[in-house]
Amino acid sequence: MSTTVETVSAAARTAPAAVIVAIDGPSGTGKSSTSKAVAAQLGLSYLDTGAQYRAITWWMLNNGIDVQNPAEIATAAAKPVIVSGTDPSAPTITVDGEDASGPIRTQEVTSKVSAVSAVPEVRALITELQRSIAKEAERGIVVEGRDIGTTVLPDADIKIFLTASPEARAARRSGEVKGSDLAATREALIKRDAADSGRKTSPLAKAGDAVEVDTTDLTLTQVIECVVTLVGEKQAAK
């Protein structure tokens, strides 16, 4: 009996503590690319919380919910079953068992997601889901979004807030879509930032203890290196 207890406590002493990394910021600052790469390098899980808000929005649109009607959204919010796969080399997202990774990236979903994500009942459900995923990540997790450092995981070991100029962000985003209009992309980004920053419930915001990294003039590799270094410093200090 005492041997088991001793074995367990010895293992607990040697196992590295799970590390929780929160990465927030507006669209096009490099959250997804950075978070996936950092998680892969450090052997951590990865969660794209924007994909979850996109998934619930996609379900609302498919199920005839008026996405301009917060009461209708609130009533339906608990119906879809959203499951996120947290392997950074192959993240997945399903809604009621159906792969949603493609359809959640359409222009229609992108233009409606801020209205759905502003509804408090939606945020409460998705926040609970995010916390349970983070808790289950044995080695730790990189969670990216808008309110991770402020609301979802306020006790995260390290919080990063990525920024970049609207011009750089629009150029990055339109670089992903052939033939896209740079000015229209920029306007759409600014509109979504304003909606996400202006909502009442857990708006897009930098946590007081987050490290801000302006990625405008950095390469993606430089941003990844910067975050990996910051995480390493935190772990060393633990």
Ligand X SMILES: Nc1ncnc2c1ncn2[C@@H]1O[C@H](COP(=O)(O)OP(=O)(O)O)[C@@H](O)[C@H]1O
Q: Is 18 helix (H, G, I), strand (E, B) or coil?
A: coil
Nearer to ligand CDP, 46 or 53 (CB): 53
The listed partner (ligand X, ligand CDP, none) that binds 215, CB under 5 to 8 Å by sort, is: ligand X
Q: Any bridge partners for residue 85, and if so which?
A: 92
When binding is defined by CB under 6 A, the residue of 19, 23, 35, 53 that contacts ligand CDP is 53
**Binding pattern for the stretch 189-208 against ligand CDP, x by CB under 6 A and - elsewhere:** ---x---x------------
234 touches ligand CDP by CB under 6 A: no
From residue 232, alpha-carbon distances to 81, 201, 209, 210, 213 in Å are: 35, 32, 17, 15, 16
CA–CA dist 93, 55 (Å, integer): 8
Nearer to ligand CDP, 124 or 235 (CB): 124
Long-range contacts for 80-84 (Cβ within 8 Å, ≥24 apart)? 80/55, 80/56, 82/52, 82/55, 82/56, 82/126, 82/129, 84/47, 84/48, 84/51, 84/52, 84/129, 84/133
CA–CA dist 149, 154 (Å, integer): 5
The listed partner (ligand CDP, ligand X, none) that binds 49, CB under 5 to 8 Å by sort, is: ligand CDP
Contact range with ligand CDP by CB under 6 A, out of 4-12, 61-69, 143-151, 224-232: 143-151
Nearer to ligand X, 81 or 220 (CB): 220
Q: Which residues contact 136 (CB under 8 A, 6 or more apart)?
A: none
Nearer to ligand X, 48 or 151 (CB): 48
Q: Which residues carry a binding-site annotation for ATP?
A: 25-33
Q: Which residues carry a binding-site annotation?
A: 25-33
Binding site for ligand CDP (CB under 6 A): 27, 49-51, 53-54, 113-114, 117, 145-148, 192, 196
